[in-house]
Amino acid sequence: MLLQIKNLHAGINGKEILRGVDLEVNAGEVHAIMGPNGTGKSTLASVIAGREVFDVTAGEIFYKGKDLQKLSIEDRAREGIFLGFQYPVEIPGVSITNFMRTAVNEVRKFKGLDPLPAGEFLRLMEEKKQLVEITSNLTNRSVNEGFSGGEKKKNEIFQMAMLEPTLAILDETDSGLDIDALRIVANGVNKLRRPDNAFVVITHYQRLLDYIVPDFVHVLFEGKIVKSGGKELALELEEKGYDWIKKEQE
């Protein structure tokens, strides 16, 4: 099992947001996590990635059999956890090239590999850029600075392609995308699917799941996964709306 979450409780500034999440993800699977706003979807993603502002108050997270809570943010990333951000931060002065070279080489170092030679690195960049149809000049710019919403999300998938994670969590990657950008982003993800990796796709709408077809769909509501099913659950949600879940819970 790649990821195993047991009875996870977490919050921020003393306010509990996750109230007992259980989730299991195996290699080769795509999981979708859906739910209304403010139910803890992004918090769950952040807690898996190790964001320090959130406190885990109870429960366990195992990744490749390791207790994730004992690993730093960077070590989780080096072990293959990738978070595609809902709102990628702009970092003026850090070029994408420099950023990615540093990241790729730190991950390689962690795995006991030598740094990638410059020529090879640039070839890899070119190859991965094409995956998400990034025009060449994007990579010489500062990280996300002045990017449109679509460019930022493409850039997230590009970084994912560069780092080849084992577990990718995409936090509302579809928000703010027009239909063309959505297709490009989804195609990128589909090309990266392999039997030995897994995706957790967080989304508010069913639309993305037309392009990235999930094996499992979970509904997160008030800090708990209250319903799980196959891809047809997403269609049902689309039809009945989240009120249906709310009513069921009451």
Partner 1 sequence: MQSEHKEIITKERFLDLFEKNRALLTKNDTALLAGTREKAIATFARLGFPDTSLETWNLTSLEESFNRGYDYYLRPSEEVDVQKVFRCNIPHLDTAVIGQLNGWYVSKDVPLMELGNGIIMGSLAEARKKYPQLIEKYFGTVADDAGDGFTALNTAFAQDGVFIYVPDNVKSPKPVQLINVIHHDENIFLQSRNLIVVGANAKLSLVHCDDSYNHQASFSNIVTEIHVGEHGVMDHYKLQNLNNNSTLISSVFFRLEDSASLESHYISLNGGLLRNNIRVRFNAPHGRANIYGLYLMDRKQHVDNQVFIDHAYPDCTSSETFKGILDENARAIFNGHVLVRRDAVKTDARQSNKNILLTDTARVNSKPFLEIYNDDVKCSHGSTTGQIDQESMFYLRQRGIGEETARMLLMFAFADEIVTRIDIPQLRQRIEDMVKKRLQGELQICEQCVLHCSTPEHPVEFQIDLSKI
Q: Which of 163, 181, 189, 245 binds partner 1 (CB under 8 A)?
A: 163
14 Ramachandran zone, left/alpha/beta (phi>0; psi -120 to 50): left
| Direct distance between the N- and C-terminal alpha carbons of the chain, in angstroms, rounded to an integer | 33
| 241 contacts: CB under 8 Å, gap ≥ 6 | none
Q: Quick one: which of 2, 23, 1, 20 has its CA closest to 10? A: 20
Shortest spacing between CB 134 and partner 1, in angstroms: 17
Residue with smaller CB distance to partner 1, 95 or 175: 95
Two tokens, residue 143: 């990280």
Residue with smaller CB distance to partner 1, 30 or 49: 49
Q: Which of 78, 152, 154, 224 binds partner 1 (CB under 8 A)?
A: 78
Shortest spacing between CB 40 and partner 1, in angstroms: 18
Binders in 27-56 for partner 1, by CB under 8 A:
49-53
Residue 133, phi then psi, degrees to nearest 5: 55, 45
Two tokens, residue 84: 């595609």
Shortest spacing between CB 171 and partner 1, in angstroms: 11
Binders in 226-245 for partner 1, by CB under 8 A:
none
| 198 contacts: CB under 8 Å, gap ≥ 6 | 2, 3, 25, 26, 27, 28, 29, 30, 31, 166, 167, 168
Two tokens, residue 39: 């139910």
Shortest spacing between CB 189 and partner 1, in angstroms: 18
Question: From the CB of residue 249, how many other CB atoms can be counted at a distance below 10 Å?
Answer: 11
Q: Which of 26, 38, 58, 74 binds partner 1 (CB under 8 A)?
A: 74
Q: Which of 7, 26, 72, 140 binds partner 1 (CB under 8 A)?
A: 72
Contact characters 82-121, partner 1, x per CB under 8 A: xx-x--xx-xxxx---xxx-xx--xx--x-----------
CA dist 164 and 158 (Å) reads 10
Shortest spacing between CB 197 and partner 1, in angstroms: 16
SS3 of residue 76 by DSSP? helix
Contact characters 177-216, partner 1, x per CB under 8 A: ----------------------------------------
Shortest spacing between CB 151 and partner 1, in angstroms: 16
State the DSSP code for 206: S
Two tokens, residue 58: 């109870």
Which parts of this chain interact with partner 1 (CB under 8 A)?
49-53, 72-74, 77-78, 82-83, 85, 88-89, 91-94, 98-100, 102-103, 106-107, 110, 142-143, 159, 163
